[in-house]
A and B are shown apart, each in its own frame.
Chain A
Amino acid sequence: DAKTTQPTSMDCAEGRAANLPCNHSTISGNEYVYWYRQIHSQGPQYIIHGLKNNETNEMASLIITEDRKSSTLILPHATLRDTAVYYCIVRVVSGTYKYIFGTGTRLKVLA
């Protein structure tokens, strides 16, 4: 099963871009990269996902390297409300569709 590696924690100044890296060097060709975040005491919230191409939505951008071994989630203008644990997930497809979650990156947005 493909695994992900993320830094344990990061700080970001309010209003600046937050760039959260993720390594997934054993990812297979038919596996997606998903990003979720979890604000304290809430369930995980979907942010964005992608396969090969870079993706953008109203919340964030996802940059995937050409070899697909790593990706970066970009929050263009971080706010205090973006303080959360961010999970990078590779979706395993082997007859099931379970997500394998790591321990995530604890992002703290500073005023």
Chain B
Amino acid sequence: GAGVSQSPSNKVTEKGKDVELRCDPISGHTALYWYRQSLGQGLEFLIYFQGNSAPDKSGLPSDRFSAERTGGSVSTLTIQRTQQEDSAVYLCASSLGAAEETQYFGPGTRLLVL
């Protein structure tokens, strides 16, 4: 079956512009996660959704970052007034439920802020 998909695969933007990143989870998966991976670094947790609600936003780096999920499926991660330090690969993962379920990752969106 189809895995997690993300779009765009690459995004180049200018400092100060807003960007939207999209994640389509595996069909039927109720939990969705966003992570960030900076060059040469490990993955950094950003936010977790269960259905449409986000019980854990603790990883969002600043108030310029926000995320939403509608219909319990697609999620968008929005970065406002992008900064050069926002350049990273943004990874989305989904799992069937939250408890004891394996997270499956998408290919990521590579964001470059000039």
Contact = CB atoms under 8 A, between A and B. Distances in A.
Interface in A52-111: 87, 95-104
Interface residues of A, number: 20
B8 to A, nearest CB: 15
A63 B18 CA distance: 46
Interface residues of B, number: 28
Nearest to B47: A98
Contacts of A49: 102
Nearest to A46: B102
Interface string B27-53: 000010101000001111100100000
A42 B107 contact: yes
Interface in A25-57: 32, 34, 36, 42-46, 49
Interface of A: 32, 34, 36, 42-46, 49, 87, 95-104
Given A98-B45, A103-B42, 17 more contacts: A36-B105, A42-B108, A43-B4, A43-B93, A43-B105, A44-B43, A46-B102, A46-B103, A49-B102, A87-B42, A95-B56, A96-B48, A96-B55, A97-B48, A97-B98, A101-B35, A101-B43
